[in-house]
Amino acid sequence: MDGMHDLGGKERFGPIDVNEREVPFHSPWEGRVWAIVMLTRLRGGSLDWWRHVRELIEPTDYLTRRYFDQWLQTQTAALIDAGVLTLDEVVSGKAASSPNVRPPLMQRRDVVAQFASMATSFSREINSPPVFQPGDSVRARLMSAPGHTRLPAYVRGHVGVIHAHHGAHIFPDASATGEERAEHLYSVAFKASALWPEASKRTDQIFLDLWESYLEQA
Amino acid sequence: MTSYSRDRISAIHHELHRHLPSEPALRVKALETILIEKGLIDSQSIDAWIEAFSEDIGPKRGAQVVARAWVDPQYKARLIADAPAAIDELGYLGYATCHLKVVENTDRLHNLVVCTLCSCYPISILGVAPNWYKTAAYRSRAVRDPRGVLAEFGAIIDDQIEVRVWDSTAELRYMVLPQRPAGTAGWTEAKLAGLVTRNSMIGTHRDLTPKTAA
């Protein structure tokens, strides 16, 4: 999707707040958003769907709202879409029904244990062998399909080199539509000098992790 | 049931934008109230998540991993070869680190980590990502002007040093292994861990030389 979220290489943003206080949350409400999303994350669809719901935030909101406000907007929309909440409930601030159920109560140590148990593998076995090998030159395809993708605009059409093969991983473009299938995943190195005119004399490199169908032989 | 319909989501976003107050604290409070009334969450668990990420799960974990790698060459070799297994030795494997990669700074190489498309970050070893890491400023500039970004953080990278930027576009997560500074021979692992900054493991800080090094 050619959305506002695809920020790599866009110009005139800045400066960066390098003196920001080193704390996880900058207001009490930010911590509560974090906790609410983690506690209700399984009710809102796949991780890639969730990312896509965030990408679909209105572009002006995407650029101007604080990060955890975007999380709040994303989770609220995902929960409404999944039928967990209704728009009327969110707007009125009152639940239409109050079932007599009690969620499990968590202590701090339970959170630490649960977070450790959430180490999820995205690797999958597939039958087809990898098309590319480390050292191969590849071109990122000129794709701009409307759905979710993890192929950023700033490398599309550019040539890079396969740096590593990671086996097959769940393919996000499909996962964001509720379909789980896997493709070979590669780290691809792009020369900064090939991507950016102002870096023509640099030896710097940019590495991206890209799925096989994002790439073609160069 | 999730619809997986982007048009439906856009319509919901639009309605939320129109009908809800602009102040996020008010919207969070309303959502929390509804979810509690529905019996889906409770305040005590919310507090527990906030406390765990304020006290237990943060960059001190990553600093311990780095210090261990500095004093134990065999641990460092395992960390580079199979980072998830190596951090699991310290009990730090968890959400978002199942496909962790550790990239090592050297005299000739400097590594910098970003997620241009969203906010991917190795949370179980570095905690909640800094706000700046999730801003349009950092996400847009880190891949195009990494040296300018580093200079803004106070790290001037010599022209002879290659900068490698890792854009976290898949479920792999990256952590930088900074160089052990001179003047720390004989230091304990715990003392060394005290030198390791969060930013050095993202790559926006390079030189960890202790300020009072004798």
Nearest to A35 among B24, B50, B58 (CB): B50
pLDDT at residue A210, as a whole number: 98
**pLDDT one-digit tens code per residue, B23-72:** 999 999 999 999 999 999 999 999 999 999 999 999 999 999 999 999 99
Choice among B115, B124, B168, B200 that is catalytic = B115
Q: Is B124 a catalytic residue?
A: no
- Please name the residues between 6 and 35 in chain A that touch chain B, using a CB distance below 8 Å: 6-11, 13-18, 20, 22-29, 31-35
How far apart CA B156 and CA A165 sit, in angstroms, is 32
| Pair type for strands A215-217 and A137-140 | antiparallel
Residues B163 and A204: beta-carbon distance below 8 Å: yes
First vs last Cα of chain B: how many Å apart?
63
Look up residue B127 and give its DSSP letter: -
Residue A165 backbone phi and psi in degrees, to 5? -110, 135
User: B119 an active-site residue?
Assistant: yes
Q: Which residue numbers in chain B have pLDDT < 70?
A: 213-214
- Shortest distance between the Cα of A164 and any Cα of chain B, in A, equals 12
Q: Token match 């993890």: residue? A: A150
For residue range A20-33, list pLDDT tens digits in order: 999 999 999 999 99
pLDDT digits (tens, 9 = 90+) for A3-20: 999 999 999 999 999 999
| Beta-carbon separation of B55 and A27 below 8 A | no
The ipTM value here is 0.97
pLDDT in the model for residue A101: 85
Q: Which of residues 99-158 of A touch B (CB under 8 A)?
A: 99-108, 110-112, 115-123, 146-147, 150-152, 154
* pLDDT on residue A4: 96
| Secondary structure, 3-state, B135-190 | CHHHHHHCCCCHHHHHHHCCCCCCCCCEEEEEECCCCCEEEEECCCCCCCCCCCHH
pLDDT in the model for residue A44? 79
Percentage of chain A lying above the pLDDT 70 cut: 100
A196 closest CB neighbour out of B14, B45, B144: B144
Q: What is the pLDDT of residue A205?
A: 98
Nearest to A116 among B8, B33, B93 (CB): B93
Q: How near does any CA of chain B get to the CA of A174, in Å?
A: 11
pLDDT in tens, A81-107: 999 999 999 999 999 988 888 898 999
Chain A residues within an 8 Å CB radius of B35: 36, 40, 85
Would you call B120 a catalytic residue per the annotation? yes
| Chosen from A106, A195, A210, A211 to mutate, greatest number of chain B CBs within 10 A | A106
What's the pTM value of the predicted model, to 2 decimals? 0.97
**Residue A110 clears pLDDT 80, i.e. is over it:** yes
Nearest to A14 among B39, B119, B141 (CB): B141
Q: Which amino acid is at A147?
A: G
Of A51, A115, A191, which to mutate for an interface test with B (greatest number of B Cβ within 10 Å)? Answer: A115
A85 touches chain B (CB under 8 A): yes
Cβ separation of A34 and B57 shorter than 8 Å? no
CA B62 – CA B87 distance, rounded (Å): 9
Average pLDDT over chain A, rounded to whole?
A: 96
- Which residue, among B60, B47, B93, has the nearest Cα to B189 in the 3D structure? B60
The pLDDT value given to residue A141? 97
Catalytic-residue membership of B115: yes
Task: Determine the pLDDT at residue B163.
Answer: 98
Amino acid A60 reads: T
Average pLDDT of A112-139?
97
B interface test, pick of A87, A108, A184, A198 with most B CB neighbours within 10 Å: A108
Question: How much is the pLDDT for B211?
Answer: 82
Report pLDDT for B82: 98
Q: Count other Cβ atoms within 10 Å, centred on residue B204.
A: 27
The per-residue pLDDT for A42 is 85
Predicted pLDDT at B194: 98
Task: Name the minimum distance, in Å, from the CA of A71 to any CA of chain B.
Answer: 10
Q: What was the pLDDT predicted at A98?
A: 87
A5 and B37: CB-CB below 8 Å? no
Q: How many CB contacts within 8 angstroms connect chain A with chain B?
A: 329
- Could B41 and A36 be called an inter-chain contact, meaning their C-beta atoms sit closer than 8 Å? yes
Is the peptide bond preceding residue A197 cis, with omega within 30 degrees of 0? no
- Chain A positions touching B152 (Cβ under 8 A) are 14-16, 18
Contacts of B48 in chain A (CB under 8 A): 35, 106-108, 110-111
**Which whole-number Å values give the CA distances from A1 to A52, A147, B59, in the listed order?**
9, 5, 33
| Per-residue model confidence (pLDDT) at position B45 | 97
B1 neighbors A83 (Cβ within 8 angstroms): yes
The reply to whether residue A207 touches residue B165, judged by beta carbons under 8 angstroms, is: yes
